[in-house]
Amino acid sequence: MLEPPPLPDAVQQALRALSTDVQELNSTFVTELAALPTPLEFMRYVARNRPFVVRGGAQDWPARTKWTMAYLCERLRDQLVTVAVTPNGYADAVVDDTYFVEPYQTRLPFREIVDLFEQRSRRSDQSTPGPASAHLQDYHYYVQSQNGNLAGDFQVLEADVLADIPFATAALETRPDAVNFWMGQASSVTSLHKDPYENIYVVLAGTKTFTLLAFSLTCLELRPRADGSTVPWVAVDPLDRTSAARARYPLFYNEARALHVTVASGDLFYLPALWYHHVQQSDDDAGRVIAVNYWYDLDYTMPLYPYFRLTQNLRAAVPESELDCEADPGPVPPRADR
């Protein structure tokens, strides 16, 4: 009788099989619905941890037509709002394949942010751009604070959108933990990550394209912070198709089966808890992308969270000396703090 393989090999094989099973058992596309689901229909998607998009699900929201730049400036005027500032459009991302970097955040009058957006749009429309100020030339600005900012900095806009998503509130028997206002431009990109929330995402201007992974085959890497501590983050950039990236993460590029969905203005998108997602966006004619999202806390008593905790514990059972991130990255355990 053959002896079982050593624990590290067995765990690696089990995690690899789990990743394969999850991908093979899930659909290869995001379901499109013609109408908003009932609470019961929505709960079925939550139970299966499956995304969907409702085309035109928010088409009649007042914000879709009211939120012109002129209207937003009139309502917000010189209200100070938190904005993320980055040199390349990437916030919360691995830089130079070495460091995990968070964006610089500052408080600016809303009208000043709009001016920056409009200047950048004019420059991109010119065949021969004129001189630009240093901060405009070098930095990208993204209103992306994820702290329920619609009830804070953007409180004057609350009446233009729903306070919650009725079918989700009824199904989950709770109100959203946070409702967030997002405003950026095409240069802003969200790196691959996941959140412990049932996320209802509504685009109100421009479009957003989500790259989705139900179970990531990328390697969890510890990237140093400036203070010497480390932070877990997914280092793979799905937009990087270079040979170097393919060599570093062969499982991701050879086997990961990502789903892709573009959410247009007026669409409502359900992003299930703990799905890895990477987000690109495209401006509307006014040079901006605007969205609101509703975060409903993950129900930790459901099987989903213990399932991810199990993979995390199994991953931890593999000694670092046995873990070859380059050749066999394996799945990434969930971030409990995001």
Taking the domains of the chain in order of start, what are their residue ranges? 7-126+134-322
Average of pLDDT values for 156-162? 98
Give the integer Cα–Cα distance in Å for 122 and 155: 29
* 18 has a pLDDT exceeding 70: yes
pLDDT for the residue numbered 249: 80
What letter represents residue 62's amino acid?
A: P
Architecture label for domain 7-126+134-322: Sandwich (2.60)
Instruction: Give the whole-number percent of the chain exceeding pLDDT 70.
Output: 82
What are 189's strand-pairing partners?
A: 90
Give the integer Cα–Cα distance in Å for 136 and 104: 15
Q: pLDDT class for 296, splitting at 50, 70, 90?
A: very high
pLDDT for the residue numbered 323: 40
Q: What is the pLDDT of residues 177-207, one digit of tens each?
A: 999 999 999 999 999 989 999 999 999 999 9
Reported pTM: 0.86
Tell me if residue 167 falls in helix, strand or coil. Answer: helix
Give the integer Cα–Cα distance in Å for 318 and 167: 42
Number of other residues whose CB lies within 10 A of the CB of residue 120: 23
Phi, psi angle pair for 168, to nearest 5°? -75, -40
Average of pLDDT values for 220-237? 72
230 sits in the region (left: phi over 0; alpha: psi -120 to 50; else beta) called beta
Structure tokens at 34: 């013609």
Distances (CA, A) of 118 to 74, 122, 189: 16, 6, 19
